[in-house]
Amino acid sequence: MDFLSLPPSYTTPMSVRGFMIFEDAKLPDSLAPYSDFLSKWGKKGAIQFIPLSEGSYWLAVIGLGKRVERSSDLTTLYRNKTAEYIRKGTTIGLKFFSLALPEPPTAASSKAIAEGAILGNYRFTKYRSTDTSPAATCESFFLEGGDLQAMEQGRHVATAQTYSRDLANEPGNVITPLIMADIAREIASRHGMELTILDEQQIQDKGLLALWHVGKGSKTPPRLVHLTYHPQGEETLGKIALVGKSVTFDSGGLCIKTRDGIKTMKCDKTGACNVLGIMNALPALQCPYEVHGLFGAVENMPDGNAYRPDDIIRAFNGKTIEIKNTDAEGRVTLADMLAYTSTLKPNAIIDMATLTGAAVTALGNYTAGLVSDWDKLSNDVLLSAEKAGERFHRFAMDDEKLREQIDTPYADVVNTGGPGGGVITAGMFLREFVDPTIPWAHLDIAAVDYYEKEFDCYGLGASAFATRTCLEYLLAEHK
């Protein structure tokens, strides 16, 4: 998609000129003949495409509803409505889009609109050989008065998200732990990043036995991946580590999932896909931090060699884990990855994981969980999420009585806390494997990971939720 610096000529029936309007707004002169429809078209969610004379271009009205007060709410609204404008326009064969806002664009709104344009243009259709809808894709986009530099930044942020979506949407017969390592290798080669990959023997030799045990039931062996990005120049604002859960397919292991529960488990690698998408975008965004991207890639499969309920495993930091549920495997892999990452002594660790069904129960399908004891880091992440238009709810880990749910007489900790408080007890489990002197935040994205229908800037399938939040965090200065 090209972002244009000059308006298009509007000489083709595949062109559309769009106007975003609030309910109480006056219609632009181009739409004056349709003033009787303002009360309907200005409502939030209304998008009206108007064909002009045969062979000419189209007009479009994108309703914004009532005016919003907060700037972050406005940029979120612009991002989502731009995505819907592109998505619906391409289904009727439109390719060349322009857009006018009800007020002059700022850098923030220009960036958000560019993100919306890229995300609204996204569809995962590579395996379809028939019915290749939509009728078109957006080839060019012009924002009247837009900040092109900010729009290019928005392009890189949204492309990181679509990159992650592409990987997360790939099925388990295509993306395996070995392929995840190959993708990291390609990113490192293209951008000149440092890369460490540990194979199954090296994983065992280094004492990453929690990661090893989860992956050993599959004929495809696990891999540990560690990418490092260094900013240009000698100065850096600090060292940040991102850790992603990477279960390329989760059958549940010996505690096998139900027929319905096993669906979409190709997306249990989304945390790591987000890490790869973010690392791939950092050079173009000129991120000022040294960033480490890590994940332990496994398949969780039932097999004669699979790990079992009642097994006791010693993790990388020496703590022991009693296994009560082999389908609570993500936290077991993350135990080793967080302990391993702690040895890097970063200024902060943020992990992303499709971790708990409890997140869906607690939050529904449109808000992710943030679990952290660190107020400053939590506030910085929440501010980044607000700018990115992604909803998070913070959970505290201050209930010592709840902590007893992951106690066991046989090991240091048990890998499931049972019913009640599942998001928090999962966070408490992970906390056992993080250096207590390092600020750490856990992002549970299970509730927002996959959508069965399109809405706002989310398409059908994997959402790559938290990608934009983490990039906003990495592009800001944190004192």
Active site residues: 257, 331
* CA 244/CA 295 separation, integer angstroms: 5
Is-contact 59 30, C-beta < 8 A? yes
Is-contact 324 309, C-beta < 8 A? yes
Is-contact 139 244, C-beta < 8 A? no
**The tokens of 441 are what?**
């935040």
E-strand spans in 236-302? 239-250, 290-300
Residue 408: what are its φ and ψ, rounded to 5°? -150, 145
**The tokens of 97 are what?**
């889009």
* CA 346/CA 334 separation, integer angstroms: 17
Is-contact 468 390, C-beta < 8 A? yes
**The tokens of 427 are what?**
């966070």
How many Cβ atoms are within 10 Å of 103's Cβ, its own excluded? 12
* CA 342/CA 437 separation, integer angstroms: 9
Question: How, if at all, do strands 320-322 and 312-314 pair?
Answer: antiparallel
CA-based nearest residue to 44, from 90, 16, 76: 76
Q: Element (H or E) spanning 91, and its range?
A: helix 71-91
Question: How, if at all, do strands 392-395 and 312-314 pair?
Answer: unpaired
